[in-house]
Amino acid sequence: MDELEACGHEVSTKRELGIKGFSDGMSYNAVRPDYPGEAMAFFASTFGLDGTVRALDLGAGSGIFTRQIRDLVGEVVAVDPSASMREAFAASTPDVEILEGSDIAIPLDDESVDVVFVAQAFHWFDVPAALEEIRRVLRPGGGLGLIWNERDESVPWVRALSLAMQWDRWQPYRVGRDFSGLLCAGPFRDVERVTFRHAQLLTKESLYQRVLTTSYISVMSETERTALMRDVAKVVEPLETARCCIWRFALETRSGGEYDFLACPRLSSLATPS
Ligand SMILES: C[S@@+](CC[C@H](N)C(=O)[O-])C[C@H]1O[C@@H](n2cnc3c(N)ncnc32)[C@H](O)[C@@H]1O
């Protein structure tokens, strides 16, 4: 999905979609999942996180990951290109500074952070330029931790939901994609990939909201979005219980050499109706 001209959307490139596709930060903050405690513990031990560490959360959005990492480090600074996400961040995470910036324009000095984290955003980045920019702000021996939540498409209704959401057509990345090759081609090495399970319970209402926070859906024309949501309802309404969704997670980790670590979770998914 490098060109989006067929999208009928208000954006024309994937990069623009990544920056403009998150225009309702408050809604995003309310319905998107957090990250598994095990993954946070993994990050803590892999990167030796403690009160001396200064971390950057790049593509921090509304602060879901930031609020989990802040207690594991001495200081965290957040960066995001979306004004709406930064507004939601400031409202929900007032004790952490959020700056305007992006993968290729991080508003921090050279060698000024020990670890860079990217939660659910690396697929928007302009690699390899982004990896060079991340390397610039990292102190020697610093690390990069990446994490995703992904849908578990082995669950039939979750697969059906993905199809109704037209994920196959507009996906910014393939669920389960291994980014190791990209990482190894840059200034990082010793990549490690780890998977954890995670779950998020959603009501039907919040599941609809979660679907609407999907980047390419949020920039669709009203007509297209209404048609898509009708298809989504055909999957969601027959689910028997209000508490119908569980997200499972996978985390992927890379660690390595001079900049000795990348932790990339990758996610699993929405799971079973209970
Ligand atoms: C799916 S959200 C993830 C937000 C947050 N990290 C979380 O875990 O909830 C993706 C975020 O990446 C940001 N983003 C998109 N393109 C970006 C880029 N080129 N550089 C940095 N951040 C970007 C978006 O503004 C959005 O806040």
How high is the pLDDT of residue 53?
Answer: 97
Q: Is the pLDDT assigned to residue 164 strictly greater than 90?
A: yes
Q: Closest residue (by CA) to atom 8 of ligand 1?
A: 119
> What tens digit of pLDDT does each residue of 204-260 get?
888 899 999 999 999 999 999 999 999 999 998 887 654 344 433 333 333 222 222
How high is the pLDDT of residue 23?
Answer: 86
CB 79 within 8 A of CB 60: yes
Task: Report the alpha-carbon distance of residue 15 to residue 127 in Å, rounded.
Answer: 11
Residue 181's pLDDT band (boundaries 50, 70, 90)? confident
Q: What percent of the chain has pLDDT over 90?
A: 51
Task: Report the alpha-carbon distance of residue 50 to residue 46 in Å, rounded.
Answer: 11
Atom from ligand 1 closest to the CA of residue 126: 19
> What tens digit of pLDDT does each residue of 149-158 get?
887 777 788 8
Q: Which of 1, 11, 2 shows the shortest CA–CA distance to 221?
A: 11
- Any atom of ligand 1 within 6 Å of the Cβ of 212: no
CB 268 within 8 A of CB 151: yes
Distance 16 CA to ligand 1 centre (A): 12
Cis status of the peptide bond prior to 107, with omega within 30 of 0 = no
Q: What is the mean pLDDT of residues 52-70?
A: 97
Distance 68 CA to ligand 1 centre (A): 16
User: How far, in Å, are 132, 189, 218, 221, 254 from residue 257 at the CA level?
Assistant: 15, 5, 40, 46, 10
Pocket test for ligand 1, best of 124, 150, 198, 267 (most atoms within 8 A of CB): 124
Range from 84-88, 109-113, 183-187, 257-261 carrying the lowest mean pLDDT: 257-261
Task: Report the top-level CATH class of 5-263.
Answer: alpha beta
Task: Report the alpha-carbon distance of residue 134 to residue 253 in Å, rounded.
Answer: 17
DSSP string, 10-63: S--BHHHHHHHS---HHHHHHHS----HHHHHHHHHHHT--TT-EEEEET-TTS
Distance 147 CA to ligand 1 centre (A): 12
> What tens digit of pLDDT does each residue of 131-142 get?
999 999 999 888
Atom from ligand 1 closest to the CA of residue 80: 22
Q: What percent of the chain has pLDDT over 70?
A: 84
Higher pLDDT, 99 or 192: 99
Higher pLDDT, 200 or 145: 145
CB 242 within 8 A of CB 193: no
Pocket test for ligand 1, best of 14, 16, 66, 82 (most atoms within 8 A of CB): 82
Higher pLDDT, 203 or 265: 203
Residue 10's pLDDT band (boundaries 50, 70, 90)? low
Q: Is the pLDDT assigned to residue 62 strictly greater than 50?
A: yes
Supply the mean pLDDT for the chain.
82
How high is the pLDDT of residue 134?
Answer: 94
For tokens 């900049």, name the residue: 259
How far does CA 44 lie from the centroid of its chain? 19
Paired sense of beta strands 54-58 and 75-80, if any? parallel
